[in-house]
Structure 1
Amino acid sequence: MLKAAVAVVVGLGALAGPGAPPSSAAAPDAPPARQGQRISLTLTSAGEAVTGDAVTFAGSATKKLRGRKVRLLRSVGGGAWVEVGKARIQRDRTFTIQGVASGVGANAWQVRAKTKPVKRNGRTVKKGRAVTSGIVQTTVLQWFFLSDRAWVDSKDEAGSYPFRGSMTSGGTAFTRSISFGSYTSAWDWERASWAEYNLGYHCRRFEASIGISDTSATGTDATFFVSLDGARRSVGRKVLGAPSPVGVDVAGVLSLRLEGVPNSQDRYGRGGFGDARVLCAAQP
């Protein structure tokens, strides 16, 4: 995660510091600000967040905005501004506020406050006017289940096929799994199979739980492999019983291959990667 503390003020259309992450989507322009009144917004949480995470900010404003309500607005991927948080500017002219990261890719953030209306003899002679901060950008990551994605290549043969769907291992149901084997014939040692995915260089991490399906015959035994751009590595050997979590760094990777290789013979069974998923900054 990148730590950022980027302050922005009214009238600046760009980030005022080097700590913010780049964005591939342009945020909508901020509306014109009232001259003479200023409000700033500083990111205090990480510059990257997973969708659904809280994103926190601090800010300050000029003296005339003390006690006024401030609203946090968020734009997802260059879309419309939506209000996602509220706070009040304190007597010391500071405030803290938070919203929730949404979507995948770029989120843009800004705050707006309104000056106090001017009244004379109980009548409003001058309406309050909106004051808007500059824009802060953050990068939002999202988990994608590989069972929801089409593989770009695969290997299958009699008795060994890649499957998408549910697998129960060690009594735990993994409803979005990539598994290997067969329902109708023995999963023998010479019958390896795999499924390959194009990550498009967008992803940061792969996670799953490897295990043997509880419906497999006693003695079913398999080794599981992950290949990154052709570089193959074992992530574990499993028999019937509790699954094991695995996690692999996939930053800068184009091709991800998941593979199951049976070590047993004459055993009807399946095994694989339970709830296999990738954390990405864009759709893989």
Structure 2
Amino acid sequence: MARPWHKLVLIAILAMVSATFVTVPAQAATVDLVLTRTSPADPITGDKVTFTGTAPASLAGATVALQRRVGKTADWVKAAATKVTTDGTYALSGVATGVGLNQWRVTATKNGSVHTSKVAKTTVYAWYYLSQLDTVDDDSFGSDSVAVGGKTYSKSVMNSYDSALANDGNIVWGEWNLSYRCKTLNTWVGVADSSESGFGADFTIYVDGAETDLGTKTLGPATATVLDVSTRLRLRLELQGTPDTQKNDLDGYGVYGNAKVLCSGKP
């Protein structure tokens, strides 16, 4: 049978053990920092994203850290830091990373109190070359590095063999899915320097069936083309030899030089 003083000692020991394992809840951050993005909401990966902000007067001189999260679940990482000015303002910037969602916030700690801002969001875009994407379907269409007007376009799409446009009425083409993730097509159109004299090609682009006629190109410098492909699914590039090319059986290549699309994710 335990003596009374033994019970008292046991109770004291159990109380000490319980106190040792009590979890102290983390201090909740106070959302009193204001973060305002001053650069576009749709940067290209690698672009600088700039912010200004305001803080309570009590945080003058404190360090605010800009944090970035890629996607929805990745860890927050420090992107930049600066001090709050005497008038309660600050300015800093970070680099857009990856493709798709970037989240941003600022935090500051002073006298043991944690301060933070609401989360700001940006959608990050990146360029994807058509030559590096799979086609949905194609007819005599391929990719290569090719010179047009003395300039080399290393990631071009074009007819896959030089006599493909010499056949009467023949149209060659390639189709890609944009998956509603892209907003801009950028390319240089022209005829390869290796083409026979007199060779010409007609260039046509279809975006979800809507036609853009780029006209006829012959030997000479390529022409820059930029096309809006926002909220579209299917991209189709076509080439057809001109009547003289087909009549005279001329060999050559119609080139969509360095054709690429700007997208918020791989199409």
TM-score by length of 1: 0.78
Instruction: Note the alpha carbon deviations across 1:162-218, whole angstroms, 9 max, x for none.
Output: 1112121001111111111514x4631433200001111111111100011111111
Whether 2:195 is the aligned partner of 1:216: answer yes
* SS in structure 2 of the partner of residue 48 of structure 1: coil
Distance 2:27 2:132 in 1: 43
Match of 2:220 among 212, 216, 241: 241
Question: Is the CA contact (8 Å cut-off) linking 2:165 and 2:172 kept in structure 1?
Answer: no
Structure 1 position 73, deviation (Å): 0.8
User: Which one has the bigger helix percentage?
Assistant: 2
- The answer to whether the Cα contact below 8 Å between 2:164 and 2:172 also exists between their aligned partners in 1 is no
CA distance in 1, matches of 2:69, 2:215: 42
Instruction: Give aligned pairs, total.
Output: 236
Q: Which runs of 5+ in 1 are unaligned?
A: 1-30, 117-127, 156-160
Structure 1: how far apart are the matches of 2:117 and 2:181? 31
Tell me if structure 2 keeps the 8 A contact 1:51–1:141. yes
Per the alignment, residue 140 of structure 1 pairs with 124
State whether residues 70 and 113 of structure 1, in contact with CA within 8 Å, keep that contact through their aligned partners in structure 2: yes
Cα distance in 2 for residues equivalent to 1:114 and 1:240: 65
Which of 135, 140, 157 is equivalent to 1:151? Answer: 135
CA contact (8 A) 2:148 2:221 kept: yes
What amino acid does structure 2 have at the position aligned with 1:50?
I
The Cα offsets for residues 211-242 of structure 1, whole Å up to 9 and x where unpaired, read as: 11111111110011101112233113110110
Distance in 2 between the 1:69 and 1:213 partners?
Answer: 57
Q: Distance between the aligned counterparts of 2:198 and 2:76, measured in 1? A: 58
User: 1:52-201 counterparts in 2 under 5 A?
Assistant: 52-78=46-72, 79-116=74-111, 128-155=112-139, 161-183=140-162, 185=163, 187-188=165-166, 189-201=168-180
Root-mean-square deviation over aligned CA pairs: 1.8
Aligned counterpart, 2:16:
none
Identity between Structure 1 and Structure 2 (%): 37
Paired residue secondary structure (1:147): helix
Gaps of 5+ in 2: 1-25
Q: 2:29 & 2:176 partners in 1: Cα distance?
A: 51
Pairing of 1:263-274 with structure 2 (within 5 A): 263=242, 264-265=245-246, 266-274=249-257
Amino acid of the structure 1 residue aligned with 2:251: Y
Report the equivalent of 1:5: none
Contact 2:148 2:222 in 1 (8 A): yes
CA distance 1:242–1:248, change in 2 (3 Å): same
Question: Greater CA radius of gyration, 1 or 2?
Answer: 2
SS of 1:72's equivalent in the other structure is strand
Query: Shift in Å at residue 34 of structure 1?
Result: 3.8
**Equivalents in 2 of 1:142, 1:226: separation in Å?**
22
TM superposition shift of 1:81: 1.2
